[in-house]
Amino acid sequence: MCEMDREPPVTGLIRADRAPAAWAVSDHPVLYPLAVAAMEARVEAIAKGSAGELVWLLEHPPLYTAGVSAKPADLLAPDRFPVFNAGRGGQFTYHGPGQRVIYLMLDLARRRRDVRAFVTGLEIWIIEALRALGVSGEAHCGRIGVWVSRHGAGRAPREDKIAAIGIKVRRWISFHGVSLNIAPDLEHFDGIVPCGIAEGGVTSLEEIGIRVSMREADQALKASFVRNFGPVEDSPPPQ
């Protein structure tokens, strides 16, 4: 486990000019191809200087995505849900109702040109949001994402993943992002080896006894994002 101080050990992720990023929430499930097309368009607009940064919170219908390191053998049930090649980092993951997906279109050239520091910052952001919800999340050296330790009577200690991270960077602008399990159907993860880690499980806030609404989770995510990445302003989601 990577020990992290309460204050982020990485600097330079907050823009020096403090310009707010747009913060958009979609109220209805968004089809994956439409989300990718919207991200591609926004990244291009940010690169051209015709649009600002965007943090987009949404849910998807049930689907699997394959990152650039995905192994075909890790797709255990290829006919269960639609499968998309995501082009992001990482391996196979699941998206579906009850899971908060956060797509981050941030200009790292105006923050810090360091992808590793950015990923660490994303882990810290999620860990601090979980702390506000009463959950102790952890980062692991060599394993991207956020984990929860499980200790039960008569059961060996285990660590389950509660948030996955998979990003892509083009011209120093990030897209794709983070998925946090609020209350998804965890059986849907059975069709893949999540993130290629066969020995690790997947959990959610609901499974560990933390019952919060998506809105409550979003509030914690927003407050933590502002602390770690800078100000935001509410904005309508992409069309």
Flag whether pLDDT at 183 surpasses 60: yes
Give the range among 42-51, 69-78, 100-109 with minimum mean pLDDT. 69-78
Q: Render pLDDT for 114-141 as a digit per residue (tens, 0 to 9).
A: 999 999 999 999 999 999 999 999 998 7
Whether the Cβ atoms of residue 58 and residue 32 lie closer than 8 Å to each other: no
- Helix, strand, coil tally for the chain in percent (to 5): 30, 30, 40
For residue 200, pLDDT beyond 80? no
pLDDT at 25: 98
Measured at the alpha carbon of residue 193, what is the angle toward residues 189 and 1, in degrees to the nearest 5? Answer: 100
With CA atoms as reference, report the closest residue to 225 among 102, 113, 92. 102
157 vs 229, more confident: 229
Architecture category of domain 21-234 in CATH:
2-Layer Sandwich (3.30)
Q: Roughly what angle, to the nearest 10 degrees, separates helices 115-132 and 214-229?
A: 130
The pTM of the full predicted model, rounded to 2 decimals, is: 0.91
CA separation for the pair 176, 144 (Å, rounded):
14
Question: 10 pLDDT band (50/70/90 cuts)?
Answer: low
Sequence ranges of the domains in the chain: 21-234
Look at 155 and 141; give whichever has higher pLDDT: 141
> So what's the pLDDT on residue 24?
98
Average pLDDT over residues 36-48: 98
Query: How far is residue 166's CA from residue 177's CA, in Å, rounded to a whole number?
Result: 5
The total of other beta-carbon atoms located within 10 Å of residue 146's CB is 26
Catalytic residue positions?
Answer: 195
